[in-house]
Amino acid sequence: MRCGFINGIIDGRSETAFLIDEGKFIKFGNDSEIRRIVGNDELIDMDGAKVYPGKIDMNAHIIACGQYLSELDLRGIDDKNTLLDKIRRYYHLNGDNVLLGFGLEVDLDKNDLKEFDKGIILEKKSGNEWLLNDTLLDKLNIDNETLIDGGSIDYNKGLLSGNALFLLEDYLCINNNLLEDYIKRGSRYLAKYGITTVVSDDLLKAKDYNRVLNVYDRLAYQDELEVNVVEACRFRTVNEFVKFLDEGNTTFSGDKNFHIGPLKIRVSNDEDEVNTYVQLANRFNMPSILECHTEDEIDLAIKVLNDNVLDGNPLHHGLYNTCFLNDEQLMVVKEKNYLYFEDDALKGSNLPYDCFGVDENDARVLFMDKMIGKLDENFDADFYLMKENEIIKTVKDGKVVYSL
């Protein structure tokens, strides 16, 4: 169905109006011209709003974002007593359910949570470490001697990180109805910020990654996603990745609403494992993004890429890290033209998930240049309207997905 937008200030253009058909911009012009062409079709008056291309978020976690919206928000609380008071209030309203919180900034350990006899899981602001109380540790059969490959457990403090987080995902066991609910909530929330395309990291939210893929495929087919989703694929083991490839999956599988993107590898001390992931990704034409949390992990990631990625490799592998690169590391990354993304926690985000933008060059090397919201004829109509420094409308494929 055709739709006209008039009376706007279009970024980078002199025209004030445009016509959309089949989800694409087909004509830019002045108000009277677009009015005449539209005829009896829908006409939207932008009332002087500014029009900008849709934003791309390179590190969204849509399911986690939707989940956060139903959890206890602990961001911005830097006093232990204030934090515990908020937990107490929420705890008594939460019934018998496990209390889930995110954005923990206070230095807390399990001993501070002894008064609570129901399960508590608090995710630290970094998103890479979770705090559990004794009740949850007991239910998960975690003690001083528990070891997890690629994971870390500080039993005395109740802190889990790395692959130890799989224990929590398996325990919480999000069912398909919740997966769908969280995806819808998360995509709606992102659309509020003018975001029309995301690279999302969701496969680990279910023990079987196919459950996540199937829910996304169905929602994409039914046109129920408020954002275009490129899935960054992360796996628990190399064997799981091999199974994924054997099933015929690789980058570009899917459509614009939802398709497979790069492989995402959590770098550990196991160099052989990281090498195997990158080699498999190369063989099956998948770009890979290596996630690092320490300077040593960045060194290892660069070594693996140097060993496996030839100069000029069109797959454009790269790094995503939660700590800054030193000067030597940065020099190598630039010389080799590796992609390089910093976690938004290093920059300070007010969103309940990692969010940072991407320019057109970054999108091109990740094979996403066609998904850049460009205000031009024959491009997808992905854009947002802003008035008085507030986003008032977001449009994806010509359809309004958010309106203030």
User: What are the tens digits of pLDDT across the range 105-150?
Assistant: 999 999 999 999 889 999 888 777 899 999 999 998 999 988 887 7
**What are the φ and ψ backbone dihedral angles of 89, each rounded to 5 degrees?**
-65, -45
Percent of the chain's residues with pLDDT above 70: 91
What pLDDT was estimated at residue 293?
A: 83
Q: Calculate the CA 172 to chain-centre distance.
A: 20
**Best mean pLDDT range from 35-44, 150-159, 332-341, 392-401:** 392-401
Q: Which of 21-35, 46-60, 110-124, 309-323 has the lowest mean pLDDT?
A: 309-323
Residue at which a domain ends, from 137, 152, 172: 172
| 149 vs 161, more confident | 161
The average confidence (pLDDT) of the chain is 86
For residues 69 and 352, the model is more confident at 69
Segment among 161-165, 240-244, 258-262 with least mean pLDDT: 161-165
**From CA 34, how far away is CA 24, in angstroms rounded?**
15
For residues 200 and 247, what is the distance between their CA atoms, to the nearest angstrom?
A: 21
Q: State the burial class of residue 328 (Cβ atoms within 10 Å of its Cβ: 0-12, 13-18, 19+).
A: exposed
pLDDT score of 318? 85
- Mean pLDDT is highest, among 20-34, 323-337, 368-382, for 20-34
Position 397 in a domain: yes
Q: What does the block give as tokens for 87? A: 């937990």
The mean pLDDT of 305-322, rounded to a whole number, is 81
Would 231 be classed as within a structural domain? no
Alpha-carbon span 342 to 324, nearest angstrom: 7
pLDDT score recorded for residue 233 = 94
Asked if residue 107 and residue 29 are part of one domain, the reply reads no
* Alpha-carbon span 99 to 206, nearest angstrom: 19
Give the model's confidence band at 205: pLDDT under 50 very low, under 70 low, under 90 confident, else very high: confident
89 is a domain residue: yes
- Read off the pLDDT of each residue in 332-350 and give the average, rounded to a whole number: 66
Q: pTM for this structure?
A: 0.83
75, 30: one domain: no
Q: Are residues 147 and 83 in the same domain?
A: yes
Q: Quick: pLDDT tens for 256-301.
A: 899 998 999 988 878 999 999 999 999 998 989 998 888 899 999 9
* Residue showing tokens 């602990």: 74
Span 364-378, mean pLDDT? 66
- Of 172, 190, 218, at which residue does a domain stop? 172
Range of the structural domain that residue 393 is part of: 3-53+381-403
Task: Identify the residue whose tokens are 């630290």.
Answer: 124
168 lies in the same domain as 115: yes
Question: Does residue 26 form part of some domain?
Answer: yes
The answer to whether position 285 is within a domain reads no
- Which whole number is the average pLDDT over 330-358? 60
- Domain CATH for 391: 2.30.40.10
Residue 365 reports pLDDT greater than 60: no
**What b/e sequence results for 29-41 when a residue is b if at least 16 CB atoms lie within 10 Å of its CB, and e otherwise?**
bebebbeeebeee
Domain co-membership, 45 together with 97? no
Pure H helices in 288-326:
295-308
Residue of higher predicted confidence among 346 and 174: 174
Question: Stretch 382-390: mean pLDDT, rounded?
Answer: 94
In a domain, 348, yes or no: no
Cα torsion 213, 214, 220, 224: sign = negative
Residue 34 lies in a domain: yes
**Choice between 355 and 130, residue whose per-residue pLDDT is larger:** 130
How does residue 361 score in pLDDT terms, banded at 50, 70 and 90?
A: very low
The domain boundary, picked from 147, 172, 197, lies at: 172
Using pLDDT thresholds of 50, 70 and 90, give the confidence band for residue 305. very high
The pLDDT, as a whole number, for residue 325 is 84
pLDDT bucket at 220, cuts 50 / 70 / 90: very high
pLDDT at 348 over 60: no
> What pLDDT is attached to residue 96?
66
One domain for residues 45 and 87 = no
Q: Are residues 167 and 97 in the same domain?
A: yes
- Phi/psi of residue 57, nearest 5 degrees: -105, 120
Has residue 186 got a pLDDT over 50? yes
Name the amino acid, one letter, at 324.
Answer: F
When divided into structural domains, the chain yields a total of: 2
Same domain, 29 and 121: no
Q: Which residues lie closer than 8 Å to 248 by C-beta, 6 or more apart? A: none
pLDDT reading at 359 higher than 50 = no
Domain holding 133: CATH number? 3.10.310.70
Query: For residue range 80-113, what is the model confidence (pLDDT) as tens digits?
Result: 999 999 999 888 876 667 888 988 999 999 999 9
The answer as to whether 350 is a domain residue is no
